[in-house]
Structure 1
Amino acid sequence: MAKTLFKLLVVLTATIAFSFGCAVALGPVLAPLGDAASSTEEALFLNPLNERSLMFDRFGGLMTAFYAEENRAPVPLEQIPETVTDAIIAVEDENFYQHDGVNLRATIRALFENVSAGGIEQGGSTITQQVVKNSILTNERSLERKTREAVLALRLEELLTKDQILERYLNTAYFGSGAYGVQAAAETYWGVNVEQLDWSQGAMLAALIRNPNGYNPITDAELAGERRDLALDRVVEVGHLTEAEAAPHRVQPLPTAILRTTPPPNTYFIEQVKLRLLRDPRFGIGMTPEERYEAVFYGGLRIYTTFDHGMQVAAEVARDQVLPGDVAGEFPFLGRVRLPDGAQDTRDLIGSSVVVTLDNATGAVRTHVGGPGFDSYEFDIATAPEGRQAGSAFKPFVLAAAFEAGLVPDDSISGRGICRFNNPGGVPDPYEVENFDGRGGGSGTLASQTRVSSNCAYVRLGQVVGLDNVVELAERLHITTPLEAANMSMPLGAPEMVPMEMVAAYAALANDGIYNAPYYIERVDDAAGNVLYQHTPAGERAVTTQTARMMTEVLVSNVQSGTGTRAQVEGQQAGGKTGTAQNSADAWFVGFTPQFSTAVWMGGVRDPNDPAFVPGQAAMIDVGGITPTGGSYPARIWGGYMNAVLAGAEPAVFPEPGPTRAGRSLTPPRGVEVEVRGG
């Protein structure tokens, strides 16, 4: 410490010698000296550098980076080439490796100017002093701050090596355009890693430190070029290059646009990961919201996810190839909306589609298309609790409840319509049901009634099974939509369902009855590589194995010869169910192969002339010349997508169910049904 005080004495003596008549001017220097020297132990604590967090897909591909104000990726000094370190040292602190933290000559020169001016006009700061300023102090321009900076710089040189100080500096410096540190700067201006930078680029970085906004090559190329050339002059003066060697670097083109080597965080999947990290303490990054925010945006986390980029692309391509219109993720349609006064209006509207895929065996979310595109439509239809009417895509819950109650696919039930049911206390009473397109229907097995999606058969089946048992079955499959056993329309999918919950429930059927909650995050590491969170499978039985296998058998037959034929996958078993809400306001196909389960939804999302438009509340009258059903566009999207994903894959089949009893005829309890008309 004696060495530190001696150097300070030299600096102050020089200042006094210059300004012996300026006691008033010296006051601000002398007054804080004792405090600054005595507080160095506490003040020299260097916080870890803020570091962006990185997010990766299931194969290790970089998806995005999370950061707030500072885009920083610290790198070790040995990774930074001499073209960068030597250029920056030449410009900022030529004698860095010779001085002890304060360059006396530069400091005295700056103090002479500053005392004469009555404030801070010149810097004279060494790299070590800049580390102190950037890491411990503030940018305040005052003699008191400069004094503390000098004291702490001398102390820092006693605690850290020169290389440690230089590494800290190169990872701390701001280079404009949101880039902190040389790695982020290399990415931002040239789209490369720092070790790939040449002398021209190193000189540009050296110039930027002094004025990162004013010398920015993207906003003022002429001035930036001049400053780069001045930096190259310094590189030549100190002997790193000859003028002949420097000449080619003076004509190198400057950056013209900000480059992003990390994609921006603007997808539905990325948003889901971010929200989970910020809201859920189980990921080990903090117990409070504030701690979790710090970890995500400043903590240098490494977040490994379940995302499959190839499957996501296949889903988006299938959607855009099938849906009409020229805008990716959207389709125009003629819709009918109900006005506040009860009247109806026909309008030109915009619709979109959802595609979400889970791995059957684990619940890993592989694909998440939540709407038209997160950059233009942030509302995520795939996970929004408001849900969408599922139509007949709900019928498998009724069928699974029937199988859990001991019924079998060969049991038969009437599908004749129009059918009417006593509905005491409900609206309407009686409750009248029609089959799709007004078809009369007839008696058939549960499997065959599923293939034709008979509304009357399923309302009757709901009464046979008991809607309270259907509610309980849906809850076991983690459907969170409030379901009321008194609602006779439940089997027809009147309640609003969340697409992500629908696909997870179907995945349980495809997984021999074992439910796995959808999840996005496999592992989270901290900046040092320590594992903070690792996903652990926690499957739970939702239905019996026999029920699950009977369900897959019935739903596979529906794709083979029922309402879902457009979802067939070449060389693979595929099962699923179509769903069309009342008036075609929503259309679905939810299905599975032995490997994956996928839900596809389509419906209205936007009225170009009415910001108050509520998504999903417009009847799709005309979409590409047809009134859509679940068996049209959604099944085609599903089939096109899964054919692309499974092209060339080994054929896989579902396990067959065990033997079942002979079928028997089912009828609702006496007094439930009022009458049957038609035939």
Structure 2
Amino acid sequence: MCLYLLWALPSPGQLTREPPSTSSALYDRSGAPLYYFYQDQHRIPVPLAQVSQAAIDATLAIEDQAFFHHPGFSLSGILRALLNNFSNEASLEGGSTITQQLVKNRLLSNERSIVRKLKELVLALWVELLYSKKQILEMYLNTVSYGGAVLGIEAASWHYFDKPAAELTVAEGALLAGLLKAPGYYNPFGPRPKLALRRQRQVLRAMRDAGFLSRGQFDAFSGEAPQLVSGSVRMRAPHFVMYLRPLLLEQFGAERLYSGGLQIRSTLDLSLQERTQKRVSDFVDSMFRFRVGNGAVLVTEPGSGQILAMVGSVDYFDAANDGQVNVVQQYRQPGSTVKPLTYAMALERGRTPMSLLDDTPVAYEIPDEESYQPRNDDKVFRGPVTLKEALASSYNVPAVKELASIGVLDYVEKAREVGIDWENQTPYRYALTLGSAEVSMLELAQMYSTFANLGVPVAPDPLLEVTDLHGQVLYENRCASAREDCPGEAVFRPETAFLINDILSDNAARAPTFGRSSDLYIRGHQVAVKSGTTDYQRDNWAVGYTSDWLVAAWIGNNDGRSMRFIHSGSHGASTLWNQVMRDVLMLTQPHRFPVPGNIVSRRVCAVPLLADCAVCQQVTEQYFVTGTGPASNCAAVTTAAGLSEAGKAPGSTAP
């Protein structure tokens, strides 16, 4: 019988060879925990050195005061348990040592029989021969149940107190140790929370009797009620976490994500995330009279694509208002925010910022449909305008005419190259440049990164590094540390991207529509930005960037209800965008976009078709690609037909 018993025993080596299911931890870029992925068991193993001494003392006092002195079992404890079984009285300590409990939890079943108890005793002795007392205590604290799916003291500490086990106080450690006897019965979030506090005082009394606390300390801690949190596994930056989860499942699989103990360091900046979330919530609250029900913001680093903040709604946990819908991922009409793509293509095809475009009525005949007659938002036609003013002031008619010249199919292909997929959105029409086809905020961020990166689009990226339980690197974002390792090929020439940057950051050029004091302007920094509003005021956007930061903002309603009149320059998404962009710029030096080597500056007349600086009312500095601008320092702009008028000789000045 004894030989059979020994032969049938599992090997204690399994305790280290086959670690139990471990939750995968998701952190922000600095190591702050965002969420733990698990299915049936939430467990976060930590070294014994990362458990507070107070929590260790509380556990030893109530579970096994003689732990460091017995060989794996306690004869007196076994006798006391047998006596209690006959007397039907509750026992404070119970009959099993910590080593026996570890063996039962990890190597045996919960079957109640003499054979199972004998196996437990033999294995306890065996475990004590193989492992040190500290190793046994560490394995126990990392596997014991603290209620429901919560296993191990680190997971319990976060679950009940929102802090690591290293920071547990005496009162907190005593409450957790009290749960071990019957986690469901003593659950502080259960129907009888006072039982948890009564049990905590029993643990404190045991700590006093065992010499872990003085009488004065016992009196002090007995009156302290620990500050509990919600009792659920908290999720910081929830829209970001839920955005990342399917990506992790696809890359690493469900088993590895939910039980493999992955250590996932994301690109998110939790401090910025929380500030941005408050910005969105406060702003939407302030816009109640304009029938604005929701808002969203995405902050990225355009050079690497790193997602620094993702706020998908006012409140993720507001189920009544569809708070879990992540607007950053939703497809909505972008309004005029896609116009820069049209003008970048025009610049590549020979236009300059001072090329004259025709802002006059036009009608496009479409078979079996009414003719398409684009209008500007203010219903005004301005005649010849420069390309720079047309883009900066967001006139509709010149943009549509430029798209007609470029060709819709070429435009859709270029959109794909910068990250926008319109392949399945048909039929294609000239209103594409006005935002008639839907995009996501993530796609817009990639498109605008093209200009910030002088022609190279970089897709948003949420991960920095993923390692397994043993520290082996499974994924490393090399782009995060070396820009040359970032994926992506140039889809525009650097000078084209720079000219778009210059136009979108020129406050004077957008003044005809937005004024000189709009929220699209940030004093002291050169910041490129474009706003957009869709038909019937359903969506309002602002997307802006520097070389190092990109901020996209949206306001509207999830169900597409119209807002009241939103002015993009004064109280729409541009205001929210301005607030968040200022947050990220406040600690940086004044920003200027880098100028490519083949860009030259020329003084030109700002009034169309007036070539002579002597009669020009306003002369401005404008950038041109070498060989495309005027030859003199005060020359005429290019006419609508693409011809240049003669200007003054180099060196001449205007009055």
The answer on 1:515 being equivalent to 2:457 is yes
Relative distance call for 1:98 and 1:555 in structure 2 (3 A) is: closer
Does the alignment pair 1:554 with 2:507? Answer: no
Spell out, residue by residue over 1:513-557, the C-alpha distance to the aligned partner (whole angstroms, 9 max, x if none).
Answer: 111111111112233333221112223212111211121122222
Q: Is the 8 A contact 1:56 1:63 kept in 2?
A: yes
Question: Could you say if the C-alpha distance between residues 35 and 650 of structure 1 is closer, same or farther in structure 2, counting changes exceeding 3 Å?
Answer: same
The one of 259, 283, 293 equivalent to 1:294 is 259
Match for residue 398 of structure 2 among 452, 457, 463: 457
Task: Note if contact 1:218-1:258 (Cα within 8 Å) is conserved in structure 2.
Answer: no
Q: Secondary structure at the match of 1:407?
A: coil
Who is 1:340 aligned against? none
Instruction: Check the 8 A contact 1:71/1:180 in 2, yes or no.
Output: yes
DSSP 3-state at the match of 1:163: helix
User: What secondary structure does 1:388 align onto?
Assistant: coil
**Residue 570 of structure 1 aligns with which residue?**
523
- What is residue 572 of structure 2 aligned with on the other side? 633
Equivalent position of 2:591 in the other structure:
652
Asked whether 1:383 is paired with 2:354, we answer no
Distance 1:190 1:93 in 2: 24
Using the TM superposition, give the Cα deviation of residue 382 of structure 1 relative to its aligned residue in structure 2, in angstroms: 0.9
Check conservation: 1:191, 1:260, Cα contact below 8 A: no
Distance in 2 (CA, whole Å) between partners of 1:460 and 1:531 is: 52
Q: Does 1:424 align with 2:370?
A: no
Q: Does 1:540 align with 2:479?
A: no
CA contact (8 A) 2:171 2:226 kept: no
Quote how far apart the aligned CAs of 1:85 are. Answer: 3.5
Q: How far apart, CA to CA, are the structure 2 residues paired with 1:587 and 1:81?
A: 51
CA contact (8 A) 2:161 2:227 kept: no
Q: In the alignment, does 2:271 pair up with 1:304?
A: no
Evaluate the alpha carbon distance shift between residue 509 and residue 249 of structure 1 in structure 2; reply closer, same or farther with a 3 A threshold: same
Q: Identify the residue that residue 585 of structure 1 maps to in structure 2.
A: 538
| 2:97 matched residue in structure 1 | 126
Structure-2 change in CA distance of 1:443 and 1:233 (3 Å): closer
Q: Which moved more, 1:479-488 or 1:523-532?
A: 479-488
Q: How far apart are residue 512 of structure 1 and its match?
A: 0.6
Q: Secondary structure at the match of 2:328?
A: coil
Q: Distance in 1 between matches of 2:178 and 2:278?
A: 45
- Which range is displaced more, 198-207 or 455-464? 198-207
2:266–2:462: 8 Å Cα contact kept in structure 1?
A: yes
Residue 356 (str. 1) matches residue 298 (str. 2):
yes
Q: How many residues align structurally?
A: 583
Go from structure 1 to structure 2 and tell me whether the alpha carbon gap of 1:559 and 1:218 turns closer, same or farther (over 3 Å shift): farther
CA 1:82–1:598 in structure 2 vs 1: closer, same or farther (change >3 Å)? closer
In structure 2, give the amino acid aligned to 1:566.
D
Q: State the alpha-carbon separation in 1 of the partners of residues 400 and 523 from structure 2.
A: 34
Q: What's the CA shift for 1:254?
A: 2.9
1:398 corresponds in structure 2 to 342
1:48 maps onto 2:19 in alignment: yes
Query: Where do residues 112-191 of structure 1 align in structure 2 (5 Å cutoff)?
Result: 124-176=95-147, 179-189=150-160
Q: Residue 494 of structure 2 aligns to which amino acid in structure 1?
A: T
Provide the secondary structure at the position in 1 that maps to 2:265: strand
8 Å contact kept, 1:88–1:206: yes
Amino acid at match of 1:39: A
Question: When the two structures are superposed, what TM-score results if normalisation uses the length of structure 1?
Answer: 0.77
Task: Note the residue ranges of structure 2 that are not aligned, 5 or more in a row.
Answer: 479-485, 600-624, 631-637, 643-655
**Residue 246 (structure 1) shift:** 6.0
C-alpha distance in 2, partners of 1:654/1:538?
22
Secondary structure of 1:583's partner?
helix
Deviations 1:116-155 (A, max 9, x none): 99xxxx9632221110111122333344433432333233
8 Å CA contact 2:23–2:257 kept in 1: the answer is: no
Q: Secondary structure at the match of 1:571?
A: coil
AA matched with 1:378: Q
Show the counterpart of 2:380.
439
Name the amino acid aligned to 2:586: A
| Pair 1:665 & 2:640 matched | yes
Partner secondary structure for residue 324 of structure 2: coil
Q: For the residues of structure 2 that align with 1:456 and 1:423, how far apart are their CA atoms? A: 17
| Ranges in structure 1 where 5+ consecutive residues have no aligned partner | 1-29, 335-349, 606-614, 668-679
Code of the aligned partner of 2:410 = N
Q: 1:372 to 1:472 in 2, by over 3 A?
A: same
Hey, what's the Cα distance between the residues in 2 that align with 1:530 and 1:187? 25
1:559–1:189 distance in 2 versus 1, CA, 3 Å = farther
1:544-594, CA deviations, whole angstroms, 9 ceiling, x for partnerless residues? 112111211222226753445421011011222222212222222222223
Question: Following TM superposition, by how much is the alpha carbon of 1:112 offset from its aligned partner in structure 2, in angstroms?
Answer: 8.0
Query: 1:114: Cα distance to partner?
Result: 6.8
RMSD: 3.3
**TM-aligned CA deviation for residue 402 of structure 1:** 1.4
Compared CA separation, residues 79 and 304, structure 1 to 2 (3 A):
closer
Match of 1:492 among 434, 443, 456: 434
Per-residue deviation at 1:238? 4.7
The CA deviation at 1:651 is 1.4
Structure 1 residue 408 corresponds to structure 2 residue 377 = no
Task: Identify the residue that residue 422 of structure 2 maps to in structure 1.
Answer: 481
- Please give the TM-score of this superposition, normalised by the length of structure 2: 0.80
Identity, % of aligned pairs? 30
For residue 38 of structure 1, what is the aligned residue in structure 2?
Answer: 7
Farther off after superposition, 563-572 or 500-509: 563-572
Superposition deviation, residue 196 in structure 1: 5.1
Q: Which moved more, 1:100-109 or 1:492-501?
A: 100-109
Query: Whose RCO is larger (CA < 8 A, sep 6+)?
Result: 1
Deviations 1:479-512 (A, max 9, x none): 1133558422222211011111112111211211
Instruction: State which drifts further: 500-509 or 86-95.
Output: 86-95
Give the residue type in structure 2 aligned to 1:647. M
The verdict on how the C-alpha distance between 1:271 and 1:408 changes in structure 2, with shifts beyond 3 A counting, is: same
Amino acid across the alignment from 1:435 = N
Secondary structure of the residue that 1:413 maps to in structure 2? Answer: strand
- Is the 1:63–1:262 contact (alpha carbons within 8 Å) kept by the matching residues of 2? no
Structure 2 vs 1, CA of residues 375 and 234 (structure 1 numbering), >3 Å: closer, same or farther? closer
Letter in 1 for 2:329: T
User: SS where residue 215 of structure 1 aligns?
Assistant: coil
Q: Is the 8 A contact 1:468 1:485 kept in 2?
A: no
* Pair 293,198 (structure 1): closer, same or farther in 2 beyond 3 Å: closer
Classify the secondary structure of the residue corresponding to 2:363.
strand
1:412 counterpart letter in structure 2: L
Secondary structure of 1:472's match? Answer: helix
Q: Is the 8 A contact 1:312 1:369 kept in 2?
A: yes
User: Per the alignment, in what secondary structure is the counterpart of residue 180 of structure 2?
Assistant: helix
**Aligned partners of 1:637 and 1:550: how far apart in 2?**
26
What one-letter code is carried by the residue in structure 2 that aligns with 1:635? S
After TM superposition, give the deviation of residue 162 of structure 1 in Å: 2.4
Q: Which amino acid aligns with 1:511?
A: N
